[in-house]
């Protein structure tokens, strides 16, 4: 894998068990109210699909956004929209689905951006978070699948230069 050595951090089975729990938490919080799920492309797409699959509430609207803040394995520290949502979000329950909260810069940027669209409620649901790498104070409603160490990971939607997103497990770069 590009001369890098990876090992499994989370198996597909463990990931899917955790996603089922996250879906249950969303169902318990919102019941059968209409929900708008917004996937942050490209990394969150695998998580997004699984999360939607496990929801009991089927009264959902879907959209996608894409931002760019990485080059290779490093963040640039700046977030730019490639694609914004096309939906009117006013008075809707919006759930932003993210693959990973790394520095927190992208999460904060997205959360603040979507607050300006006046949703009824706004929740971020991220499969992964690196608490030791956070650079901003995140005070936003968030559901987190797993807290992970500050290491580079691939698989289950996460990439290395646009590759390895299709791996079923989440792998971590060995020391």
Domain-embedded: residue 43? yes
pLDDT at 137: 80
- For residue 123, the enclosing domain spans 6-173
Question: DSSP labels for 126-173?
Answer: EEEE-GGG--S---S-EEEEEE--SS-EEBTTB-BTTB-TT-SSEEEE
Domain-embedded: residue 168? yes
Contact assessment for residue 111 and residue 125, using Cβ atoms and an 8 Å cutoff: no
Contact assessment for residue 35 and residue 58, using Cβ atoms and an 8 Å cutoff: no
Write down the catalytic residue from 84, 88, 99, 102.
102
> How many Å apart are CA 101 and CA 106, to the nearest integer?
8
pLDDT at 15: 98
CB-side neighbour CA atoms (13 Å) of 85? 23
pLDDT tens for each residue of 65-116: 999 876 655 666 688 889 999 999 999 999 999 999 988 888 999 999 999 9
Q: Is 102 labeled as catalytic in the residue annotation?
A: yes
How many domains does the chain divide into?
A: 1
Q: Per residue in 51-63, is it b (16+ CB within 10 Å) or e — as a string?
A: bbeebeeeeeeee
Domain-embedded: residue 104? yes
> How many Å apart are CA 86 and CA 51, to the nearest integer?
21
Domain-embedded: residue 1? no
Domain-embedded: residue 131? yes
pLDDT at 71: 63
For the domain that residue 169 is a member of, what is the CATH number? 3.40.50.2020
Q: State the CB neighbour count (10 A cutoff) for residue 75.
A: 16
In this prediction the pTM is 0.91
- With a cut of 70, which residues of the chain have pLDDT below it? 1-4, 70-77
């Amino acid at each position: 894998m590009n001369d890098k050595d990876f090992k499994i951090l989370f198996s597909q089975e463990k990931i899917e068990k955790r996603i089922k729990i996250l879906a249950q938490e969303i169902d318990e919080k919102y019941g059968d109210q209409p929900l708008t799920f917004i996937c942050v492309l490209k990394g969150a797409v695998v998580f997004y699909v699984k999360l939607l699959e496990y929801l009991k509430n089927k009264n959902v609207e879907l959209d996608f956004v894409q931002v760019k803040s990485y080059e290779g394995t490093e963040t640039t520290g700046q977030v730019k929209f490639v694609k914004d949502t096309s939906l009117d979000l006013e008075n809707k329950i919006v759930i932003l689905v993210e693959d990973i909260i790394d520095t927190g810069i992208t999460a904060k940027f997205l959360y603040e951006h979507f607050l300006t669209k006046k949703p009824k409620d706004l929740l971020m649901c991220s499969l992964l978070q690196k608490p030791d790498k956070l650079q901003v104070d995140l005070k936003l409603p968030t559901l987190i699948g797993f807290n992970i160490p500050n290491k580079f990971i691939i698989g289950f939607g996460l990439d290395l230069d646009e590759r390895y997103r299709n791996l079923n497990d989440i792998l971590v770069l060995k020391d």
